[in-house]
Structure 1
Amino acid sequence: MDLTVLGYVIYLLISVVLTVWVARTLSRNGRIFLADVLKGDENLADAVNRLLVVGFYLVNFGFVALYLRQDATIDTARHLLEGLSVKIGIVLLVLGAMHLGNVFVLNKIRRRGTLEREQQPPVAPQAWTPPAGA
């Protein structure tokens, strides 16, 4: 088997396993955060969580597929390992950037919801006063 093809197979296996592991970890641990962001609506949190996981898979698998191509020929084990380390490192950076982007957006939504909850009066007004000068 050609070392380039072997590199492709190893790259795909590692990238797919990493993507699935990260998606499952984020989904399992992010559910509580989503429920808080969505004001305790568990069903909506589960639905949004599933949609985020599907989007995560689509973007990451698309990137992995597009980044598969190797321009240089791989003729030694050293070149194979160097090429794999660069490719897998880039995939890990993309996974991390996507995670940080998701957390940033969800934190903004959460902060906005918290501010809206704090702006409402704790009790209903007791009386109405007409404006001055009327």
Structure 2
Amino acid sequence: MQPSFNFFAYMIYLPVVTAVTWLVAYTLFKNSKVFMLDIFHGNQELAAATNKLFETGFYLLNIGFAFWIMKIAETISNPRSMMEILSGRIGGFFIWLGIMLFLNLYLFFRGRRISKSKTKPLPIVS
């Protein structure tokens, strides 16, 4: 009976997707504070609270998705197969994470644009 590499694959997959999710979230939400302050016209408390809620949702959505796609149905019998399966799983998750990053950036820019349009002074008509 050959040893299964499935357990080792999970032990590699989980820390990698968790660490990369944390790194992306940390970078995104550290830098999004500026957008939130601009959107909420300098109201630091509202900007910080909204930023934290976005961050929490980002973690829940992405870690949840990582766990959802984690299942490896076939028995992995050698290191090569394990690396091939892991590259597909982790690579697919990274693509998802990139899409979610750009979705969040879109929401920040959209919020900023809407905020700016609501505060524009009315033109003076002579």
Structure-1-length-normalised TM-score = 0.84
Unaligned runs of 5+ in 1: 123-134
After the TM superposition, list the runs of 4 or more consecutive aligned residues in structure 1 that deviate by more than 4 angstroms. none
In structure 2, the residue matched to 1:115 is 117
Is 1:82 aligned to 2:96, yes or no? Answer: no
Q: Distance in 1 between matches of 2:44 and 2:37?
A: 6
* Structure 2 counterpart SS, 1:61: helix
Greater shift after overlay, 35-44 or 6-15?
Answer: 35-44
In structure 1, the residue matched to 2:97 is 95
* Structure 2 counterpart SS, 1:115: helix
2:16 alignment partner AA: I
In structure 1, the residue matched to 2:29 is 27
Deviations 1:38-78 (A, max 9, x none): 21111111111111111111111111111110122211111
Q: Distance in 1 between matches of 2:4 and 2:73?
A: 14
Q: Distance in 2 between matches of 1:60 and 1:98?
A: 8
Q: Distance in 1 between matches of 2:101 and 2:41?
A: 22
Deviation at 1:121, TM superposition (A): 5.3
Q: Distance in 1 between matches of 2:73 and 2:95?
A: 21
Structure-2-length-normalised TM-score = 0.88
User: Could you say what the CA RMSD is over the residues aligned between the two structures, in angstroms?
Assistant: 1.6
Identity %: 33
Q: Distance in 1 between matches of 2:25 and 2:102?
A: 13
Q: Distance in 2 between matches of 1:119 and 1:85?
A: 53
For 1:49, which of 48, 51, 72 is the aligned residue? 51
1:91 alignment partner AA: F
Deviation at 1:2, TM superposition (A): 3.0
Q: Distance in 1 between matches of 2:65 and 2:47?
A: 27
Deviations 1:16-44 (A, max 9, x none): 11111111111111111111122111111
Aligned length: 122
When Rg is computed on C-alpha atoms for both structures, the one with the higher figure is: 1
